[in-house]
Amino acid sequence: MKKRERGTRKGFTTGANAAAAARAATVGLLSGQVPPEVEALLPNGTRVTFQIHDGQTDGSTTAHAMCIKDAGDDPDCTDKAHLTVDVRLLEGKAGEIVLAGGQGVGRITMRGLGLEVGGPAINPVPRKNIADNVREVGASLLEKHGLEVTISVPDGEERAKKTLNDRLGILGGISILGTTGIVHPYSTAAFRASVVQGIEVAANQGQDTVVLTTGGRTEKFVIAALPELEQACFVQMGDFLGPALDSCVKEGIQHVIIGGMVGKLTKMAQGEIITHANRKAVNTDLLAEIAKGCGAPDAVCTEISAAETARFAAERMEDLGLDSIFYQALAQRTIDTLKKRYPHQLSIRVMVCDFSGQQLADVS
């Protein structure tokens, strides 16, 4: 039997689906009827039409809507999840939008994720995107009142068992994620081929430098930081570091710049050539070793080693005022690791940014 080829059809994140359901529920609260579809705003500024299910409203104080996640051609454990939203009027609380996590949305129990401990596992970009969609359609209501927006995923706790959430201290459900609103099929052979093709295009145009990024935020960061380079130099490699660097060597690219954040860079520094979150956990012992070399006390290094995320290490080093030297040391360790794999074949530069796209280190 011929193996079915997997495609590159994009899907939409849990955050984008939650935002669409929140928008539909808000429309229902205002109009007395939840629409069967809505055109929702994505975090990247584009607009996409989502089908809405199970629309209910009393037309005055509450409304309910649900969106079924379509993960595209690379379905993960949240594919076909029911992103469910209940909107409730907060009388007299003008302009206030309170975001809450309901059944099946994880709760944060540990530092290191950039979210409030005890709060719902709804990441900052989806939080803003949900609020933006609610404000767009609910502006007239928000002039006098507020809205409570509760996100639920009925089977989220069961789905979360297929993730690393429990190790990250996210308990009771899945995370609401997404930086652009779009799911790219990073684990497909087709996407891997597109990474190689992008490097081939740069080489064919006579470029001697390729800038490899792990996602949309890091790509935006390096494009802004490196205006002197042609557009063809920038290749979003996703999790495919090894295939990307192999292709650079094959095509005669001399200079590689890697744009990344602390989590993915730690994976690279520990020698992973495929950096997907589900492949292998972050080596926090390595981070503790780097932290010790930067002057962190033994007690802090022990905390870092026992943690589950790279971001926790970054936060603890920031607490000590050692964050700048820590990021530089992590970038240098990444270069050293890659140089062992590609000796004398590539010059490698690593640029580090945070979750808001601000530069933290630049090492070559």
140-176 pLDDT, tens digit per residue, is 999 999 999 999 999 999 999 988 788 678 899 999 9
CB atoms closer than 10 angstroms to residue 227: 6
CB within 8 Å of 240: residues ≥ 6 apart: 186, 191, 192, 195, 274
pLDDT of residue 279: 60
The lowest-confidence range among 98-107, 127-136, 230-239, 298-307 is 230-239
Quote the tokens at residue 269.
């520094």
Tens digits of residue pLDDT in 49-59: 999 999 999 98
Contact (Cβ atoms closer than 8 angstroms) between residue 60 and residue 89: yes
pLDDT of residue 114: 79
**% of the chain with per-residue pLDDT over 90:** 74
Task: Determine the Cα–Cα distance for residues 111 and 50; give it in Å rounded to an integer.
Answer: 34
Contact (Cβ atoms closer than 8 angstroms) between residue 79 and residue 159: no
Q: Write the CA distances from 301 to 31, 143, 317, 333, integer angstroms.
A: 56, 50, 10, 17
Contact (Cβ atoms closer than 8 angstroms) between residue 294 and residue 332: no
Confidence of residue 119 (pLDDT cuts 50, 70, 90): very high
Contact (Cβ atoms closer than 8 angstroms) between residue 218 and residue 353: yes
Tens digits of residue pLDDT in 335-361: 999 999 999 899 999 999 998 899 999
CA neighbours closer than 13 Å in the CB half-sphere of residue 252: 6
pLDDT of residue 1: 34
- The pair phi, psi for residue 67, each rounded to 5°, is -125, 135
pLDDT of residue 182: 87
CB within 8 Å of 225: residues ≥ 6 apart: 351, 359
Tens digits of residue pLDDT in 60-115: 999 999 999 998 886 778 999 999 999 999 999 999 999 999 999 999 988 777 78
Helix, strand or coil for residue 250?
helix
- Give, as one character, the DSSP assignment of residue 240: B
The domains located in the chain, with CATH, are: 11-183 (3.30.2110.10), 189-363 (no CATH)
**Among the listed residues 259, 306, 273, 274, the one whose alpha carbon sits nearest the alpha carbon of residue 287:** 306
Confidence of residue 213 (pLDDT cuts 50, 70, 90): very high
Tens digits of residue pLDDT in 15-39: 999 999 999 999 999 999 999 999 9
Instruction: Tell me the average pLDDT across 171-193.
Output: 79
CB within 8 Å of 307: residues ≥ 6 apart: 110, 112, 284, 313
CB within 8 Å of 314: residues ≥ 6 apart: 262, 323, 326, 327
pLDDT of residue 3: 39
Task: Determine the Cα–Cα distance for residues 267 and 213; give it in Å rounded to an integer.
Answer: 14
Task: Determine the Cα–Cα distance for residues 21 and 193; give it in Å rounded to an integer.
Answer: 34
pLDDT of residue 276: 64
Q: Which helix (H) or strand (E) holds 359?
A: strand 359-363
The lowest-confidence range among 114-118, 209-213, 295-299 is 114-118
Task: Determine the Cα–Cα distance for residues 170 and 42; give it in Å rounded to an integer.
Answer: 25
Contact (Cβ atoms closer than 8 angstroms) between residue 34 and residue 25: yes
